Chain A
Amino acid sequence: MQELINRAKELLADGTVARVLGWKAGDLPFNPEPAYFEKEEDFADFVYDGFCGANLSKYMIEASKLEGKTLVCLKPCDTYSFRQLMKEHRVNREKAYIIGVGCRGKLDVNKIRDLGIKGIESVQGAEIEGSDTLTFQTLYGEKTCSYADAMLERCHVCKGKEHMIYDELIGESRETKDADRFAEVEKIEAMSPEERFAYFQKELSKCIRCNACRNVCPACSCRKCVFDSNKFDSAQKANVNSFEEKMFHIIRAFHVAGRCTDCGECSRVCPQGIPLHLFNRKFIKDIDELYGEYQAGADDEERGPLTSYTVDDAEPGIVAERG
């Protein structure tokens, strides 16, 4: 982390960048927030640890409009989002100085709570090169858990430790993949339609239409979302689980299909713990199977699967045929 801070200060001092976009330590051990650093003294609060899960690439849409370059700290998975946004002309590469930061998986405070660790006063082991065990001092005594058990779902299906785009790299990355990316989707596919319906009905009935999934999503970069716009008659805010939640989540997933990098932010931020990544991953799985493997944000040129076609694509009837 110190190397990152030193380098950021250096680039700020020599005028290469006008500001640094990173994370500021929170007031609790696990809630650092995305923040801009413009002066040397700001860096007292700079932090980069296991709780810095936020994907900063979407902030670059606004940062691209500012004077001068913004140094942005991107983890390997975040760089896919940045590159996809570049492809869509939503961020300006010229306005970004990308430091690819190392990552060994990011932590999910909800998982820690689910492990029964409550009243956290301090944490050891969450540092960027910390141990494999997390030790918590809590109001109710010392607790421990393994780093891996506290990782975000997305880190268990990590896309790899390569950065897709960067100006320089600082820190080592570790591949944390220990699960099959599509296993959860396959599990649901194996259910009967009734079970699938019940599963999603139950999950989506929790949705409170807070739009956190949409607003955090780097692919949901519309200036105005159709669900906020009066152009379609779809601008509703009610939480009515007989239809609206399904409409919202299906259409949201559809709009990002072929553009979603599977960064997992939607599931990370959902206050109701809805596994929203399943929608996106289902589309990714279908796209991979039907149109060839495609990873959004892994290139600058290739057209997305929904803005291209081949003459012998599968017919929609395949959905019923494969059962």
Chain B
Amino acid sequence: MSIEAKEEFRPKIVAFCCNWCSYAGADLAGSSRLAYPADVKIIRVPCSCRVNPMFILRAFERGADGVILCGCHPGDCHYTSGNYYARRRMTLLFSMLDFIGVENGRTRVEWVSAAEGVKFSTTMREFVDKIRSLGKNVRLEDLRCRN
């Protein structure tokens, strides 16, 4: 057994947030000083329905350890229906990733409204914990990106 403490695993996490609800929710988390780990980096998209499965795979290819998509609650989409489409797309995509043996905890969708700063922060903390427990993504990584 090694006496040296292992360097803490710092996962790379991409969070796609819709501009109208979840990005604002993240802003609220910020202005309410609701901390969550710095491992999470947010990409602003107009709507959860803008997130192409290719972006998610791309993130994993480049070494992301987890990808989370946040959008308006069903029924509250700024564009009325975008998150409904996103919900189906992501359900199927996640199911496929699970099917080919990628750990299903690495992907998540959460609906976060502009008023839910607390939920945003809690969700991110939970997600980071989950990814830390899963460790590094090796199943969907492109080894060429390592060096």
Show the binding face of A for B, using Cβ within 8 Å.
185, 188-189, 193-201, 226, 232, 234, 240, 242-244, 246-247, 250-251, 253-254, 257, 279, 282-283, 286-287, 290-291, 305-307, 309-311, 313-320
Contact = CB atoms under 8 A, between A and B. Distances in A.
Give the dominant DSSP class at B's interface: helix
Given A200-B100, A306-B92, 13 more contacts: A189-B99, A193-B103, A234-B58, A240-B142, A246-B140, A247-B54, A251-B57, A282-B96, A309-B81, A309-B85, A316-B91, A319-B91, A319-B95
Interface in B84-107: 84-85, 87-105, 107
| A-B CB proximity, top 5 nearest | A197-B101, A243-B142, A196-B101, A309-B84, A316-B109
Contacts of A244: 142
Contacts of B100: 196-197, 200, 246, 250
A247 B57 contact: yes
B84 A306 contact: no
Contacts of A282: 95-96, 99
B6 interface: no
B45 to A, nearest CB: 16
B19 to A, nearest CB: 20
Given A305-B88, A311-B75, A254 B93 contact: yes
- Residue among B53, B75, B105 with max Cβ neighbours from chain A (10 Å): B53
A232 to B, nearest CB: 6
Nearest to A318: B91
Contacts, number: 119
Interface in B27-75: 53-54, 57-58, 60-61, 74-75
Interface residues of B, number: 39
Contacts of B104: 193, 319-320
Contact of A283 (B92, B101, B109): B92
A122 to B, nearest CB: 42
Interface of B: 53-54, 57-58, 60-61, 74-75, 81, 84-85, 87-105, 107-109, 139-144
24 contacts: A189-B99, A193-B101, A196-B101, A197-B139, A198-B101, A199-B101, A242-B144, A244-B142, A246-B57, A246-B140, A247-B61, A254-B89, A254-B93, A286-B95, A306-B88, A307-B85, A309-B88, A310-B84, A311-B74, A313-B74, A313-B87, A319-B98, A319-B107, A320-B98
Contacts of B98: 193, 319-320
B92 A286 contact: yes
Nearest to B75: A311
A39 B98 CA distance: 53
B54 A234 contact: yes
A250 B101 contact: no
Contacts of B142: 240, 242-244
A285 to B, nearest CB: 9
A191 to B, nearest CB: 8
